[in-house]
Amino acid sequence: MDIIVLLLDMVLMTFCRLESKTAKCDGKFELSGLNHGHLEQGIKNHAIVGHSFKNFTLPKIYDCHIQCFDEKCKCQAFQISGDRCELLDEDRYSTPDEFIYTPGYAYFDMSREYIHQVRVILNSNRKCKFQRFCPARSDCNNAAHGILSCYKLQDVFNVTSDSAYPDSHCSNQCCSDSVCLNGATCTELCQDAKHKFKCSCAPRYVGKFCQKRRTSCKEQLLMDKKSSSQAYWLFDPTSNSWYETFCDFTTENGFVWTLIESFSLVNNQNFADKSFYKDYPVIENDFNWNKFRLSLNRMESIANQSSHVRATCNFNTDGLNFTDYLRAKLTDIDVMRKKFDDCRNYEYINVRGYGCHDCTAVFVQQDMWHAHVDSYHGARCQLNASGAIKDPGGEDDFGWYQTVNPIHRCSSNNNSTTQWWFGEH
């Protein structure tokens, strides 16, 4: 019983506070409450790590709730530990992985909703009354709308709604205090009381507030599931510097691919003797498909977060085409660490239309030889790509290119390009 009284009191108090802030006919009113069920003590021994943006010394749940309510642009939930009140910019639904067992904490969900048909007035007894919302200011005191004094809580919830007014009318001041960082653009939103603004990040940043420097393709995708495949600037913390490369999120379901090298056949002489374990950075600051390779350190750190290696042809002009393509596990072909000249396992390989799944083909990489597939000398492995060129040295596919076959898409003319990628699921 006490709990119910407390809940009622809280909602009413919040309404009263609201009234003083947004009492106008065409405004919208925000109802803030604690989610049902956890009112008394929150979710015990749980907290969200890394998302408290303001801390107070306020032992009472009620006072902490009020602080969260007042931070109407940013506060999504709050947590209490002893007499510390922490306001959170995410809740357990938006960051489930960061909501963890933390002894001594109690976590509280914050519900926020817009209501449009009720407004609140404070009568002389400091009790709240609710008045039906009126369409025009002049109607506010029109007796025809009546004053419905002292709605019961149940009735209040009957007139709530998640959305309020169209965004074209939106002006909520939530962009006014530079919530979006690092040159981001801020847009105010009025549809959903839990999403009052949106940050559109400048090219190099990610995060809800654009507070983080992007460090990998994977991170870009985690921050924005609808990210498009394109060249992105990535930050390398080891060298404290930026570089630009292509992230492919879309061509193979579930894979995130990071480009480590791309060159056109006419530029082969720059790449032919560069095995992947050599440091040979080429144009890391002005991405292009004809002459590009990351430094050894950057390739290594991407490889360390990857499970697969892939080679493609003419990705820049044709997109992904499985004719002339290879994909292998890094545990089978670890191009960063080893010399090879033998049959290796591939998840899929295709040379000039001859392809096989989970099969072997010759893979070659030596100190002075770029990684490649030797389709002429490959008869001892499972892939049978007949029609390989014999002279002078046997056909080279996906690199090295001492002997080229114009039927292979990577070497059909001087403008044909070869790409190498590291990727993960």
Interacting residues with ligand NAG (CB under 6 A)? 52-55, 86, 154-155, 158, 266, 297, 300-301, 304, 318, 321, 323, 379, 384, 386, 409, 413-415
Of 109 and 300, nearer to ligand NAG (C-beta) is 300
Q: Which is nearer to ligand NAG, 151 or 369 (CB)?
A: 151
Least separation in angstroms between residue 254's CB and ligand NAG is: 20
* Nearer residue to ligand NAG within complex by CB, 70 or 318: 318
Cα separation, 422 vs 125, in Å, equals 69
3: tokens are 């709990």
CA angle 159, 162, 166 (to 5 degrees): 110
Q: Which helix (H) or strand (E) holds 153?
A: helix 153-158
β-pairing verdict for 212-213 and 230-236:
unpaired
Rounded distance, CA 96 to CA 78, Å? 15
How big is the chain, counted in residues? Answer: 425
Which residue, 200 or 414, has its beta carbon nearer to ligand NAG?
414
- List b or e across 383-397, with b for residues whose CB sees 16 or more CB atoms inside 10 angstroms: bebeebbeeeebbbb
Report, in Å, the least distance between residue 413 CB and ligand NAG: 4
Question: In a 10 Å sphere around its CB, with 0-12 CB exposed, 13-18 middle and 19+ buried, how is residue 317 labelled?
Answer: exposed
Smallest distance from the beta carbon of 290 to ligand NAG, in angstroms?
A: 9
Q: How far apart are alpha carbons 362 and 70 in whole angstroms?
A: 66
Select 197 or 289, whichever has its Cβ closest to ligand NAG. Answer: 289
Give least dist CB 303 to ligand NAG, A.
7
CB of 314 to ligand NAG, least distance (A): 9
Question: Closer CB to ligand NAG, residue 190 or residue 284?
Answer: 284
Residue 103, preceding peptide bond in cis (omega within 30° of 0): no
- State in angstroms the smallest separation of the CB of 149 from ligand NAG: 14
Residue among 43 and 190 whose Cβ is closer to ligand NAG: 43
Helices then strands, counting H and E runs in the chain, come out as 7, 25
Nearest distance, CB of residue 151 and ligand NAG, angstroms: 9
Residue 69 burial (C-beta neighbours within 10 Å; 0-12, 13-18, 19+): buried
- For the chain, the C-alpha Rg in angstroms (whole number) is 31
Tell the smallest beta-carbon distance from residue 384 to ligand NAG (Å). Answer: 4
Provide the CB-side half-sphere exposure for 227 (13 A, CA).
25
Q: How many CB atoms lie within 10 A of CB 309?
A: 25
CB nearer ligand NAG, residue 8 or residue 185: 8
* CB closer to ligand NAG, 111 vs 323: 323
Q: How do beta strands 99-115 and 84-88 pair?
A: unpaired
Give bridge partners of residue 352 from the DSSP assignment. Answer: none
Q: How far is CA 66 from CA 14, 21, 60, 152, 295, in A?
A: 8, 14, 10, 21, 52
Task: State the minimum distance, in angstroms, from the CB of residue 404 to ligand NAG.
Answer: 10
